[in-house]
Every structure is written in C-alpha cells, then in structure tokens.
Amino acid sequence: MTAKDKSSPPDAQSGAKPATGANSMWGGRFDRGPAAVMEAINVSIDVDRKLYAEDIQGSRAHAAMLVATGILSAEDGAAIDRGLATILAEIESGTFEFSRAREDIHMNVEGRLADLIGPAAGRLHTARSRNDQVATDFKLWVRAAIDRADGALLRLMRALVDQAAQHADTIMPGFTHLQAAQPVTFGHHCLAYVEMLNRDRGRFADAKSRAGESPLGAAALAGTPWPIDRVNTATALGFEKPMANSLDAVSDRDFALEYLSAATITALHLSRLAEEIVIWTTAQFAFARLSDAFSTGSSIMPQKRNPDGAELVRAKVGRILGDLTALCVIMKGLPLTYSKDMQEDKPPVFDASEALEISLAAMAGMIEDMEVNKPRMLEAAGAGFTTATDLADWAVRALGMPFRDAHHLAARAVGLAAEKNVGLEDLSLGDYQSINPKIDARVFDVLGVTRSVESRTSFGGTAPIRVREQVKYWQGFLA
C-alpha cells in the first residue's frame, strides 16, 4: 500500500463536502460529492481487495463472452484481456497502487485498466453490474476457501490415522463426564476425530455444490437486454450453470452462510480435540507430550510447558461462531435484492477463513508432533474400576442373571475392591463368592483392561483388531 493509501480519511465528524465535485462513478446524477463521513463508511477497498484475483478472473471471462457474442470487438477484447493480465501481475508483485478514492476492488481494477488501455476499458462493464460482479467474485472466493479447508482437513485426518496406526493397541481410559468409564485404545480415540472431520469435509462439499451456480449476467437485478451467453461465463469460471433467477443471483449469500456454518462445526470439533490435548499434556494426566515446537514457556515459572497452540485453537471457535452470527444478522431483514448492508458480508467470512485455516494447520502440526505416554495411559486405564461393566456382562453370560441384577453384583464388587484398595482383578475368588456363591474362576478371564479392550469386537468397537481394520480403511480412503 502506498503512503497515500495509509493516510486517514477526511474528518468524518465534520461532514464537510469535498471540493472536487461528484464521484466519477455516478457523476451524471449528482452535482456534488459525498460528505467525508459518507466516503469513510462507503469505502470497502481495504477489505475487498482480497477479491482481486476473482475480480480479474470474472472480468476476463465476461470480456471473452462479450467478444464471442459480438457485443465487444475482438480488438477491444484483446486490449482488455492484456490490461487485466497486467493488473494481476502488478497486484501480485506488490506494485499496484490501491486507491481509497476508487472505493472498491472493482473500480480500482477498472480505473487502472483505463489508465493502461484508455476508453476501451469502459466497454468492459457492458451487460453487467457491480451487483452481479461482487456476487460472482465472492462466490468464487468462497469456493476456493472450501478447497483450502478440505486440503487442511485431509492433512489433519492423515495425522490422526497415523497416530491410530501406531497406537491400535495402546490402552487408555475412556471417559464419560470426564470420569474414567471403560478402557479403550488410543487408536480408537483418534479415529473418532477422523469420523468427525470427514463429516466436516462432507458439509464443505455440500456447500460448494450448492455454490455451483454463477450469478454473472444477472446485472443489477433484472437481467440485461444484451444478448449475453451466461452459460459461457459460468463454464469459463468453473461453475456448473448460471443461476436461474436474476433477483436471487444478486441477493443470495447462502453460500457464505453455509461456509461459515461448516467452518463453525469444524471449529467445534477442533476445540474438543484441543481441550483433550490441554488435558493430556498436564502433569496430572501426563498422557502425551508436545515438543518445543508446539509448546511455550512461562515468564516467571521455568518449569512450565504450556500448550498455547491448543488453547488458541480452542478459542478460535468463538471468533468463527461470532462471524456466522454476524452474517446471519446482516442478512436476516434484507428485502430483495441488493442492499449496501451486504458490503459487510465479506469481513466475517475472511476472518473465519483465516481463523479456521490456521487452526487446522496448528492442530495437524500438534497431532503429528505429539508423543504418547503409553505406560501412563495404561496405568490410568485401570484406575476407577473401569472393567466393572465387563464383570456385569460376564455375570449375564455365565450366570444367566438379568443385566440389572448383574449391575448390582458388579457394584457390590466395586465397593469391596474400593474398601480393600485394590482393583477388581485383584479380588480373590472368595471375595467374589462372598458377593454371589455362583461366581467361579472363569470371572478372571474377563477382568483386566487388556482383556476388556480385546473383547470389544463389535463393529465400531475399540478392540485392536477393529482399530486396525479402520486404520486400513482410512489409509486407503485418504491416499
């Protein structure tokens, strides 16, 4: 940005009118320019400059269509295309001078095009409006953001599958209410997040599918009398087809709302995993360790290893959910078609995209980096009488007891083990027979966390054999 771009806008409080006359975009209707405060609130180039590539892409497709339909001469079309290519190169090299006086990305590009090729630049806007132009640019940008999110999700899923492959038989406590419930394998735990993230990919894919229709050619709101070919531009821009209703085309922002909705659910999943990393890396749990690359220290406590990355990922969902709420509120009361309120649609989407993409990258890095403390996980898996359900299930199978009666039997065994300060597998046969004389030595075949996880062979269960099957499936799916 040049020094001119960094300068403050005119005094917004004064309301003074500029002396330079009417705005060049609509000077035919207005004799005087807008108040300074109006200029300050109306300008959007600081935000929508992110759409430069999409704006130029859309303009090149539009110009090519105008040439193909005979609306624009081949000579003017070629000049426009060369000029737009030059502008793209200038922006990407950092030499382009964005001007707040030109208000938005569309007028910045068109103004620079006029500088480069002269009056022919004015023909580019034939048969289109900034209304269908911005809707097209924004939809193209969101579709690209969806692709970036999908790629980041794939990386994270692969990292989790790799951990699952290494720890298919690593035993840890499974929790309900953050209380030790039943032993599970760490591989099984990792694959639970793979399932969640794959659903996230599906939501993004659905959103992209519904964003597959092009608004370009709807013009201001009612279409255009020019004999344009909207299928031509839709195809050129990678859309499946043009939108069928011009009013809907310029006023629709469902694609942005769906993107934010999918991003919010993804961020919720990342936040849950981040919370577990925070818990696992505490000295009290000590289930896992992050290297120096993903830990920070304390300015006063030299012993600290703080999982700041996980904590920040955990917090990002607040921003992303806030962005979804912001856009919902912006859109909720707008009549058809375009209103200037919709200029505020892009900041929440840009913000959410940045927060989501850095969160996905950070989480993938942490999962790839994480070292698992298998002995500590195994020790914790046996605490809290986590095989009590196995005892109850055995009583149903071996003794023919109704499950509710077996549940009471297991509860009495837990009480006795707690009184003796031992595990269920450490009670003697006599201890068990004092609870129910029908219990025999076969009971010890089901006690212990290793036997417990190995027995959970139902589809979707935590048994190592099932985990390895799922790892193989996901490795093929994600290849």
Counting every residue, how long is the chain?
Answer: 479
Q: Which position among 93, 177, 299, 458 bears the catalytic label?
A: 177
For residue 337, cis peptide bond before it (omega within 30 degrees of 0): yes
Contact (Cβ atoms closer than 8 angstroms) between residue 127 and residue 226: yes
Judge whether 177 counts as a catalytic residue.
yes
Q: Among 84, 170, 101, 199, which Cα is nearest to 464's?
A: 170
Cβ-count burial 442-471 (b if 16+ within 10 Å, e if not): ebeebbbbeebbbbbeeeeebbbebbbebb
Token duo for residue 178: 């953050």
- C-alpha–C-alpha distance, residues 362 and 161, integer Å: 17
Q: Which position among 209, 291, 298, 339 bears the catalytic label?
A: 298
Judge whether 73 counts as a catalytic residue.
no
Token duo for residue 358: 């850095």
CA distances from 400 to 322, 403, 443 (A): 55, 9, 14
Token duo for residue 208: 């992209």
Contact (Cβ atoms closer than 8 angstroms) between residue 473 and residue 187: no
- C-alpha–C-alpha distance, residues 99 and 152, integer Å: 34
- Active-site amino acid positions: 177, 298
